[in-house]
Amino acid sequence: MKKTGLLYDERYLRHDTGPNHPESPQRLKAIYQGIKEAGLLPKLTLIQARRADLKWIETIHSKNYIKRFEVACGSGNSTFDYPDNQICAETFETALLAVGGILDAVQLIMTDKLDNVFCAVRPPGHHAEYDKALGFCYFNNVAIAARYLQIEWGIQRVGIVDFDVHHGNGTQHLFEDDPTVFYYSIHQHPTFAFPGTGRVFETGDGEGVGTTRNYPVLPGQGDKEYQGLVERDLVPVLSAFSPEVILVSAGFDAHVDDDMSDINLSTQGYSRIMQRIAALAALYSDGRLISVLEGGYCLKRLPELAANHVNILLNA
Amino acid sequence: MFISKIMSRNAVTIDINADISQAREIMSENNFRHLPVVDDSNFLIGIVTDRDIRSVLPSSHITGDNGMEVLKRFSGIKIKDIMTKNPVALSPLDTLQDALILLQKERFGAFPVIDEQKKLIGIVSVRDLLREFINVLGLEEPGTLLCIIVENKLGQMKKIVDAITEEHVSFGSVLVSRYWEKGKRAVFPYLLTQNIAPVKRKLKKMGYTLLDPMDWYMDHLPQND
Ligand SMILES: [Zn+2]
């Protein structure tokens, strides 16, 4: 059995998005509950949140943006940049705690105290741009983790796999001219889903051409198509890149019961994808795999999805 | 949406007495495929395209040094011999819609833009028009597209707009399109939100049909020949 970490902290519930918002604290409770009820907690190393040093946030976001975000939360505003982005007085601190917890998890992995980790954090990150919040995201958690791995731990090649049903526009844009970070995203076709980016021909810029890969999936597709593209495309493409660490943007909103998308992945379908990614990490990254929660809004399905996800990490 | 706002103002032109090798050079230097032909006073007299040039050359495979030799032999051919005279031109006060319809009719890749005296003031290419059309569709803003089937009668749009506004969702754009069933229309609101589920639920509750995304677009529209 692997040494698997779980980053979870009740302070992540403090980011209050108001009534009827899909990105709710209940999501995280459901995830934690699912892992607990599956009897997995005793096998996991629990990691607590910690406030991130701003210098790491600044590797990805502009100082001006960070300040704007802090001021917006402190001023009693209820939204930031877009009406989708509901904030409260605690949102800025919660976002810092999410990043700090993830960086601690990275450290535990890089010092061989853990093999892999699931970071059940809020708010999510993959839509957040250099200087713009978008799609419930404020700090790009995964992007910051990638830079931290490179700067603090000397990692040369980071692979990011994003299976959230929405395209991670932020992560793509932040690394599209960077050949040292591979961004691979599977998502609902941008003509039919937010945010409207992530087309096949978006393959990177300048020196980074070839280390961005988008695989749009059509409405109504599910297990069969995902399975096929994972085997046919994701596995060979990531193998060729040979990442030293794999980061996963784990979004569970492609589930058939999640009404944020028209994609029909089953619970088993999700497991099969994650098993394949874990196998890739074993082959190329010495098992080093850091999975970070993005979307996933079906409170009924999140418990089983999270439990399976963690189980795969434990048995990777 | 006026052509004056979409066109390039510094159109690269060519003299009517220039020969085709000069035109070829200007085109490849600037990566243009259309050159308006003007006289000394900048009056538009014609347009010459890369296709016009290719059509008078013996082979389309003339490249490199050898290509220049071939070109020289044909350099006697003047622009005035191969240009399209009195080309279809736009006025600065024509609109994007005018240009799109004209484009479909005329099969040109670019239109010169002239003022009332027929003096050249710019050129607008298919690329320019597409860029503007992408802007009209709002594709560069993050959002989600829906397709709602409505009765083709007055007041339907208001209900939809009101319902969506009540969910605090703003519009990037709205397209209305013909639909295969008589008396109905397909409405495509492009909504600037990720949080689409409540909007969908609300519209369904109001009795609207949300079209399955895989049934969108052309497959059900009347076929065009
Ligand atoms: Zn998502």
pLDDT tens sequence across A146-167: 999 999 999 999 999 999 999 9
Which residue, B209, B218, B205, B200, is CA-closest to B151? B209
Query: How many domains in chain A?
Result: 1
Q: Which residues of A carry out catalysis?
A: 127
d(Cα A130, Cα A141) in Å, to the nearest integer? 12
B38 and B120 housed in the same domain: yes
Flag if B213 and A262 touch (Cβ within 8 Å). yes
CATH number reported for the structural domain that contains residue B194 in this entry: 3.30.2130.10
Q: Long-range pairs for B22-30 at CB < 8 Å and ≥24 separation? A: B23/B48, B23/B53, B23/B79, B24/B50, B24/B53, B24/B71, B27/B53
Flag if A22 and B139 touch (Cβ within 8 Å). no
Flag if B139 and A262 touch (Cβ within 8 Å). no
B124 and B13 housed in the same domain: yes
The per-residue pLDDT for range B139-183, each reduced to its tens digit, is 889 999 999 999 888 888 899 999 999 999 999 999 888 777 788
Flag if B142 and A219 touch (Cβ within 8 Å). no
Contact A100, A145 (CB under 8 A): no
d(Cα A138, Cα A43) in Å, to the nearest integer? 32
- Domain span including residue A13: 4-314
Q: How far is B77 from chain A (nearest CA, A)?
A: 41
Using the structure block, give the residue that is written with the tokens 């005035």. B80
B65 and B163 housed in the same domain: no
The per-residue pLDDT for range B72-102, each reduced to its tens digit, is 666 678 898 899 999 999 999 899 988 988 8
For the record, the structure tokens of A271 come out as 């497991």
B82 and B148 housed in the same domain: no
Question: Which of B139, B195, B210 is the best residue to mutate to test the A interface, defined by the most A CB atoms within 10 Å of its own CB?
Answer: B195
Give A-chain residues touching B213 at CB under 8 angstroms. Answer: 192, 218-220, 262
Look at residue B184 and tell me if it is in a domain: yes
Flag if A196 and B194 touch (Cβ within 8 Å). no
B33 and B131 housed in the same domain: yes
Of residues B40 and A70, the one with the higher pLDDT is A70
Of B118, B135, B152, the residue that ends a domain is B135
Look at residue B86 and tell me if it is in a domain: yes
* Among B residues 145-164, those touching chain A with beta carbons less than 8 Å apart: 145
Residue B57: the pLDDT is 75
A310 three-class SS: helix
Question: Which of A21, A78, A192 is the best residue to mutate to test the B interface, defined by the most B CB atoms within 10 Å of its own CB?
Answer: A192
- Domain span including residue B190: 144-220
d(Cα A125, Cα A26) in Å, to the nearest integer? 18
- Helical packing angle, A141-153 and A91-110, nearest 10°: 40
The per-residue pLDDT for range B197-222, each reduced to its tens digit, is 999 999 999 999 998 888 775 445 54
Residue A14: the pLDDT is 98
Query: How many domains in chain B?
Result: 2
B174 and B216 housed in the same domain: yes
B126 and B148 housed in the same domain: no
Q: Please list all protein residues whose beta carbon sits less than 5 angstroms from ligand 1, which is an ion.
A: A 164, 166, 251, 253, 295
Look at residue B216 and tell me if it is in a domain: yes
Flag if A83 and B170 touch (Cβ within 8 Å). yes
Look at residue B27 and tell me if it is in a domain: yes
Q: What share of chain B is helix, strand, coil (3-state, %, to 5)?
A: 40, 25, 35
The per-residue pLDDT for range A158-197, each reduced to its tens digit, is 999 999 999 999 999 999 999 999 999 999 999 899 999 9
Cis peptide bond N-terminal to B58, omega within 30: no
Of B114, B135, B156, the residue that ends a domain is B135
Look at residue B101 and tell me if it is in a domain: yes
Q: How far is A220 from chain B (nearest CA, A)?
A: 8
Percent of chain A with pLDDT over 70: 100
Query: For residue B169, what is the nearest residue in chain A, using CA coordinates?
Result: A83
Q: Is the dihedral of CA B49, B55, B57, B62 positive or negative?
A: positive
Give A-chain residues touching B168 at CB under 8 angstroms. Answer: 83
Average model confidence (pLDDT) across chain B: 86
Q: How far is A233 from chain B (nearest CA, A)?
A: 24
Query: Which residue in B143, B201, B212 is closest to A196 by CB distance?
Result: B143
d(Cα B165, Cα B161) in Å, to the nearest integer? 6
Phi/psi at B17 (5° precision) = -95, 0
